[in-house]
Amino acid sequence: MSHNASSSAPRRALRAVFPSLAVLGVAGALFVIRRPLMMSAPRCMAGRWHGCYDTFNGVVLMTLVAVPLAVLVAWALASWRRAAGAASARAWRSSLAEVGMVHGTVPFLWLTMMPGLAPGVAPRRVSLVPLRDLATMGTGGIIGNLLVFAALGFFAPMRFAAFASVPRILALGAGCSVLVEVAQYVLWLDRVSSVDDVLVNATGALLAGLASRRWWRTTAGNPSDRPGPVPTAVG
């Protein structure tokens, strides 16, 4: 047995362990929050706005409910690309990346744009001193801010070669976060526009991007993305 073959076995084992741990972690988190989520289920299933789409539990629940639809959309996009001549692996990667960016980012944007207790009444608040608000965020707040653009940071370099670098992922996360903070201020949502939110959002995008590094798209025009030649009849 060659040295390369023996050294590749532990790597394959590690690649199988990390996804398994991620699945177990998500399952454990869902088990812990299952009761709060189910409290919003009756109103969400009845199509009521209040108590569903204006609450954290309701938004998270509807995001989970929409997962099968997101998978179906990804399958449809991949099938369309394969029919156009793209390679199967590239078609699935591009389609999953596009759907993942949207499905994993829009709910968090919705949550960040939900107004506070006194929108349009309470004075606008801005915090421009770095690291000052981290102490008041708490563990849940920090984790939530890390996740806001995590899906974007994870999937964007898989879909677009222009974002397949650490500085660009960081700039993407920071730029999107700045837009959110500016929107919160302009729309007078009774939320604090904080530079720490930008820092944590950008860090979350970067960490997620590093997690998907092995799948980054490295060329802007991969031949497998282009439709193949159309056969012509000879006669």
The three-point CA angle 217-220-226 to 5° equals 100
Please give the helix or strand (H or E) that residue 133 lies within, else none.
none
Is the torsion defined by CA of 193, 101, 163, 145 positive or negative? positive
Global pTM reads: 0.81
Q: Which residue has the tokens 């709910």?
A: 107
The three-point CA angle 32-210-196 to 5° equals 70
- pLDDT of 223 reads 43
- pLDDT of 180 reads 97
Ranges of beta strands (E only) in the chain are 125-127, 192-194
Coil, strand or helix at 127: strand
* Direct distance between the N- and C-terminal alpha carbons of the chain, in angstroms, rounded to an integer: 54
pLDDT per residue as tens, the chain (235 positions)? 555 555 566 666 555 565 666 667 666 666 666 777 788 888 888 888 888 998 988 999 999 999 999 999 999 999 999 999 999 999 999 999 999 999 999 999 999 999 999 999 999 999 999 999 998 899 989 999 999 999 999 999 999 999 999 999 999 999 999 999 999 999 999 999 999 999 999 999 999 999 999 999 886 554 445 445 545 545 4
Domain boundaries along the sequence of the chain: 97-235
For residues 192 and 196, what is the distance between their CA atoms, to the nearest angstrom?
10
For residues 127 and 184, what is the distance between their CA atoms, to the nearest angstrom?
13
Token pair in block for residue 60: 């998270």
For residues 77 and 103, what is the distance between their CA atoms, to the nearest angstrom?
15
- pLDDT of 102 reads 97
**Cβ(132)–Cβ(196) below 8 Å:** yes
- pLDDT of 224 reads 42
Query: Which residue, among 114, 129, 130, 78, has the nearest Cα to 187 in the 3D structure?
Result: 114
Token pair in block for residue 17: 């362990």
Number of H helices, E strands in the chain: 9, 2
Query: Which residue, among 195, 204, 200, 178, has the nearest Cα to 132 in the 3D structure?
Result: 195
